[in-house]
Amino acid sequence: MRPRLVLLLLPLLAVAACKRQDMYTQDRSQTWDRNAFFANGTSMRHPVAGTVARVAPNPPAAAPATIDAALLARGQERFGIFCTPCHGRAGNGEGMIVQRGFTHPPSFVEGKLRQAKTQVFYDAITNGYGAMYSFADRLSPADRWAVIAYIRALQLSQNADVASLPAEDRAQLEASARQEAAK
């Protein structure tokens, strides 16, 4: 009888198979991993002090020769991601973070920034300005120009005369105004 009792222990074998495979964690460093080998504990490294880049990592780009719909769409998207928290969707400086107490940025769409040279915006994005940090790590030179093109579009649209709109756009605007009023 005794050997047959062993059969009852068989299910335990299944548990023995549960050890996580060794390959789950492999002996290599990945982005974002902890790494005890380095003093600051991360596997991502900065270039060693004194490193000279063969090619500048983020060379300045010249302003685009033509501004097309694709450039404006890219600018609108990047503006939405990085600028609206403070500058607001309309570029008037009434963003959500400003409503929470951050320094009120000057409006893009009225006052002296309407006349400001394009380079002023480019430099502010690149180096920061006043309370605004540099966005050089967040907006590539090409994206900076796209954002500036979109700021110019906001400056135009926020000050546009309704009469200057094509009939189709005017009808759409008036319809949405009626809808708002009805609410």
Partner 1 sequence: MLRLYLLAGAGGLLAVGLLLFGLSHSNYVGNVGIAPAQPVPFSHKHHSGELGIDCRNCHQQVEALATAGLPPTHTCMTCHSEIWAGSPMLAPVRDSLANNEPLHWTRVNRLPDYAYFNHSIHVTKGVGCSSCHGAMNEEQLTYAAQSFKMEFCLSCHRAPENFVRPQNEIWNMQWKPPADQATVGAALVKDYHIAGPERLSDCSICHR
Q: Which position among 19, 32, 70, 178 is part of the footprint of partner 1 (CB under 8 A)?
A: 32
Kindly state the number of chain residues that form the binding site for partner 1, as judged by CB under 8 A: 38
Partner residues linked to 129 by β-bridges: 132
Based on CB atoms, which residue is closest to partner 1, 140 or 158?
Answer: 140
Partner residues linked to 132 by β-bridges: 129
Nearest to 57 by CA among 140, 119, 147: 140
| Helix ranges (DSSP H) in 18-140 | 69-78, 84-87, 96-99, 118-127
Based on CB atoms, which residue is closest to partner 1, 27 or 68?
Answer: 27
Q: Does 131 bind partner 1 (CB under 8 A)?
A: yes
Based on CB atoms, which residue is closest to partner 1, 36 or 163?
Answer: 36
Counting Cα atoms < 13 Å in the Cβ hemisphere of 2 gives 0
DSSP state of 130: T
Q: Which position among 7, 56, 163, 181 is part of the footprint of partner 1 (CB under 8 A)?
A: 7
- Please choose, out of 39-47, 118-126, 151-159, 167-175, the segment that lies near partner 1 by the rule CB under 8 A: 39-47
What character string, x for contact with partner 1 (CB under 8 A) and - otherwise, covers 90-129? ------xx--xxxx--------------------------
Q: Which position among 67, 85, 120, 153 is part of the footprint of partner 1 (CB under 8 A)?
A: 85
Counting Cα atoms < 13 Å in the Cβ hemisphere of 90 gives 8
**Minimum distance from CB of 157 to partner 1 (Å)?**
20
| First CA to last CA distance, the chain | 85
The answer to whether the beta carbons of residues 167 and 175 sit under 8 Å apart is: no
Cα–Cα distance measured from residue 26 to residue 170, given in angstroms and rounded to the nearest whole number: 62
Q: Which residues bind partner 1 (CB under 8 A)?
A: 1, 4-5, 7-8, 10-12, 14-15, 18, 23-26, 28, 30-32, 34, 40-42, 80-82, 85, 96-97, 100-103, 131-133, 137-138
